[in-house]
């Protein structure tokens, strides 16, 4: 198993142990796309029409927190 797959596997285990989930406040989202750019496992899709991001990573998010730290509008919570 290569390093990225090993790390992703371990992050998945940690997320399940901590039972953490992403909560997106669409009202705050301004379509800056930082979450989309930093997510290591492609949990986000930009919607260029609405200027809102869409989260579809319930099963793959590894709870790394990168999107939470990068969002300029504090639109994402991990808890
Ligand atoms: S980083 Fe924040 S404001 Fe930008 S698209 Fe993602 S949720 Fe929306
Ligand atoms: S916490 Fe955010 S950046 Fe990290 S894997 Fe989950 S959705 Fe992607």
Report in angstroms the alpha-carbon separations of 39 from 3, 23, 44, 56. Answer: 17, 15, 7, 12
Q: What is the CATH number of the domain that holds 47?
A: 3.30.70.20
Per-residue pLDDT, averaged over 63-72, amounts to: 95
Return d(Cα 38, Cα 46) in angstroms, integer.
13
Q: Per residue in 32-52, pLDDT tens?
A: 999 999 999 999 999 999 999
Mean of the per-residue pLDDT values of the chain? 91
Residues with CB under 6 A from ligand 2: 22, 38-41, 43, 57, 61-67, 78
Residue with tokens 């869409």: 54
The pLDDT of residue 20 is: 87
Q: If you take atom 4 of ligand 1, which residue's CA is the nearest one?
A: 32
Q: If you take atom 6 of ligand 2, which residue's CA is the nearest one?
A: 61
Query: How many separate domains does the chain show?
Result: 1
**Ligand 1 pocket check for 76: Cβ under 6 Å:** yes
- β-bridge mates for residue 8, sequence order: none
8 A C-beta contact, residue 17 and residue 62? no
């Amino acid at each position: 198993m290569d390093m990225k797959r090993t790390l992703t596997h371990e992050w998945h285990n940690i997320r399940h142990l901590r039972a953490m989930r992403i909560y997106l406040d669409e009202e705050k989202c301004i379509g800056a796309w930082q979450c989309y750019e930093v997510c290591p496992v492609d949990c986000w899709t930009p919607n260029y029409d609405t200027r809102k991001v869409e989260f579809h990573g319930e099963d793959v998010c590894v709870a790394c927190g990168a999107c939470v730290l990068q969002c300029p509008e504090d639109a994402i919570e991990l808890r």
